A = this chain, B = another copy of it.
Amino acid sequence: MASRTSADPLVVFSPSGKKGRFAAGTPLLQAARSLGVDLDSVCGGHAMCGRCQVDVVEGDLPKHDIVSSAENLSAIDEFEQQFLAQSHALPTRRLACHAKVRGDVAVDVPASSQVHRQVVRKPHEDHAINIDPVVRPCFVEVPEPDIDRPEGDLHRLLTALLQDWGLRELNVVPPVLRQLQSALRAGGRKVTVAIRNDAEVIAVWPGVRDRLHGIAVDVGSTTVAAHLCDLRSGDVLASAGKMNPQIRFGEDLMSRVSYIMSNPGAEAKLTAVIRETVNELIGDVCAEAGIDRDDIVEMTAVGNPIMHHLFLGISPIELGRAPFTLATNESVDVVASEMDISIHPGGHIYVLPCIAGHVGADTAGVMLAELPFDRDDISLIVDVGTNAEMLVGNRERLLAASSPTGPAFEGAQISCGQRAAPGAIERVRIDRESLEPRFKVIGNDLWSDDPGFADVLPAGGVTGICGSGIIEAIAEMYSAGIVLSNGNINGALAKQSARIVKDGTVYEYVLFDADPQISITQHDVRAIQLAKAALYAGVELLMKERGVERVDRVRFAGAFGAQIDARYAMVLGMIPACDLDIVSSAGNAAGTGARIALLDRKARPLIEEQVSRVEKVETATRPEFQDLYVAAMAIPHQDLGTQSDKAKRCR
């Protein structure tokens, strides 16, 4: 544009403020492109997609020393008129590809016409997601073939993509080669291609297609969740979850690995069932959103190291024995069909990197959702599942570890424990005097001592106690003096309350005296003590390594994190004592991370780099971990001082 003269009309774009002089007759879209203004277009100026809508500013703009007027653009032609009428556009609206500069003009690019947008996230997510997906649609018109120029249609397509979109040296996946000619014929030589990473043509459709879809999958050991997203708006169009069918090979991760170790070749079976489940979820979300599987052009996935390996078809055997070696700690980018995942045949799957043998791509997802590496204050982020994966640090240093909490927090290995499902006790209160309990069950808003409680119980009645219920029960038992600091159930109270009964040599607390009877046993208290000690010791170790005595924010990630009441977590000594108001739920942060990696291409190199920077702390080989672990067995925990001491530990 350097050769333009000062006599040429001046064009000013807001909100960017970018401006330049352009020869009369230049379309606004071309002016925007040459200035690097963020103005969307799929059809590349063919006036077909309607994405390049702008609003003309009328009047005097002293700052730019121009008088802007709609008169200074070419007249609206019949096509544009029709288009604008259909979309009920404002009177100021124009299609930038059709409106040509005739004099000085200022135009505003509305948010809906910007390529790079942000979507506001849910309440527990505290920053917006940039929308700049790795796959984007490009419309092109491909010249008719010519018998005297025998190059193939692919060559013609690539030439058109170079001319219209400046894309060069594009790789072309085989499915595109297969679909190209029928798409060209069906679209009258007009097609939309999906371009991945500006490097690869992964799909081709006849005519204009401006909506592409992606799916983010969180492959959990218990639950698999999928979120279908519109790659343009970033909207989640549908979500679905299913139990991980691998559970039939082993409830927890290590029992699945043991199964594979003792049944050579079984990893193929575990891989097949998890992929089948993901395919079913894809079917579910597509049905809900009314789209076709083939409309999904990109997938991202997170999961703990063992799920990560099994989903990728890698045997997790090496993760089941020291030194717990990952096959790869880097992100994996693979064609979906290679993994038997049914999305568009040219679609790819990006699997986030793992951090260490026990700290997986799910934690990478949490990092991406929470961005602790992008903050000055010190975060403690805990994702509690069968293992607890935890992060401590900030932009200077971020440490990660996994601690073997076992599945007690999820209600497993607890005498009356169960998963969080209707009928499970999730909230517990115990009267300090009478030692009588009251509780709530999932699926019912009433407390057990509210009138009519029994009438509104789920069909199966009260079936057990879930993770958050266990924590509250034991914390309340401690607060009521039923459980002592060393974890013993105080048998002396059996005289006071019929709730405390002897079972062999130890005591238990009867929470619900019906059929089945729901009790908290001495064994249950021990299981929770072990789990919380592992969690607390891991956090302590990371804080010591990081050289901090307190953290500025505590985020609980995961489904369990969303249910847990921070007060009770602190009473039990699951986390370092601190002000309750710095503790919050991060929601399903791993899944959110997968969604961010789906919607924002820049998130991928970012998380790859940050994961490589994370310092991994292996709890299993640190002698001091054992000491911290033993010390943390007490309730709340040994080094916990007075309330004022507690407060000091927080900012």
* Cβ-neighbour of A147 out of B146, B322, B330 (below 8 A): B322
* Cβ-neighbour of A177 out of B324, B328, B337 (below 8 A): B328
A618 within 8 A of B: yes
Q: With a CB–CB cut-off of 8 A, which chain B residues contact A180?
A: 327
Q: From A355, which residue of chain B is reached at the shortest CB distance?
A: B150
Q: Which of A155, A325, A335, A357 has the most CB of B within 10 A?
A: A325
A330 adjacent to B155 (CB under 8 Å): yes
Q: With a CB–CB cut-off of 8 A, which chain B residues contact A154?
A: 327-330
Given contacts A146-B323, A152-B325, A153-B325, 19 further A-B contacts (CB under 8 A): A145-B323, A145-B325, A147-B322, A147-B323, A147-B324, A147-B618, A150-B326, A150-B357, A152-B328, A152-B330, A152-B354, A153-B326, A154-B328, A177-B332, A178-B313, A178-B314, A181-B314, A181-B317, A185-B318
Given known pairs A153-B326, A154-B330, A325-B153, the reply for A314 and B147 (CB within 8 Å) is no
A152 adjacent to B326 (CB under 8 Å): yes
Q: From A621, which residue of chain B is reached at the shortest CB distance?
A: B147
A188 within 8 A of B: no
A597-636 contact mask (Cβ, 8 Å, vs B): 1 or 0: 0000000000000000000101011000000000000000
A148 within 8 A of B: yes
- CB neighbors of B among A127-186 (8 A): 145-148, 150-155, 174, 177-178, 180-182, 185
Q: With a CB–CB cut-off of 8 A, which chain B residues contact A335?
A: 338
A421 within 8 A of B: no
A621 adjacent to B174 (CB under 8 Å): no
B153 adjacent to A318 (CB under 8 Å): yes
A181 adjacent to B151 (CB under 8 Å): no
Minimum Cβ distance to chain B for residue A439 (Å): 42
B618 adjacent to A152 (CB under 8 Å): no
A334 within 8 A of B: yes
Q: With a CB–CB cut-off of 8 A, which chain B residues contact A354?
A: 152
A327 adjacent to B181 (CB under 8 Å): yes
A53-93 contact mask (Cβ, 8 Å, vs B): 1 or 0: 00000000000000000000000000000000000000000
Q: With a CB–CB cut-off of 8 A, which chain B residues contact A342?
A: none
A329-364 contact mask (Cβ, 8 Å, vs B): 1 or 0: 110101101110000000000000011110100000
Minimum Cβ distance to chain B for residue A55 (Å): 43
A327 adjacent to B147 (CB under 8 Å): no
- CB neighbors of B among A300-323 (8 A): 312-315, 317-318, 322-323
Q: With a CB–CB cut-off of 8 A, which chain B residues contact A178?
A: 312-315, 327
Minimum Cβ distance to chain B for residue A201 (Å): 12
Q: With a CB–CB cut-off of 8 A, which chain B residues contact A151?
A: 326, 329
Q: With a CB–CB cut-off of 8 A, which chain B residues contact A150?
A: 324, 326, 329, 355-357, 359, 616, 618
Q: With a CB–CB cut-off of 8 A, which chain B residues contact A315?
A: 178, 181-182
Q: With a CB–CB cut-off of 8 A, which chain B residues contact A155?
A: 328-330
Q: With a CB–CB cut-off of 8 A, which chain B residues contact A334?
A: 174
A349-384 contact mask (Cβ, 8 Å, vs B): 1 or 0: 000001111010000000000000000000000000
Query: What CA separation (Å) do A580 and B314 show in the bound complex?
Result: 63
Query: 6 shortest A-B CB distances, which residue pairs?
Result: A150-B356, A152-B326, A147-B323, A145-B325, A154-B328, A152-B328
Complex A-B: 6 CB contacts under 8 Å: A145-B323, A147-B621, A150-B326, A151-B329, A178-B312, A335-B338
Q: From A316, which residue of chain B is reached at the shortest CB distance?
A: B181
Query: What CA separation (Å) do A354 and B621 show in the bound complex?
Result: 60
Q: From A182, which residue of chain B is reached at the shortest CB distance?
A: B315
Q: From A358, which residue of chain B is reached at the shortest CB distance?
A: B150
B145 adjacent to A312 (CB under 8 Å): no
Q: With a CB–CB cut-off of 8 A, which chain B residues contact A355?
A: 150
A327 adjacent to B152 (CB under 8 Å): yes
Query: What CA separation (Å) do A328 and B180 show in the bound complex?
Result: 10
Q: With a CB–CB cut-off of 8 A, which chain B residues contact A152?
A: 325-330, 354
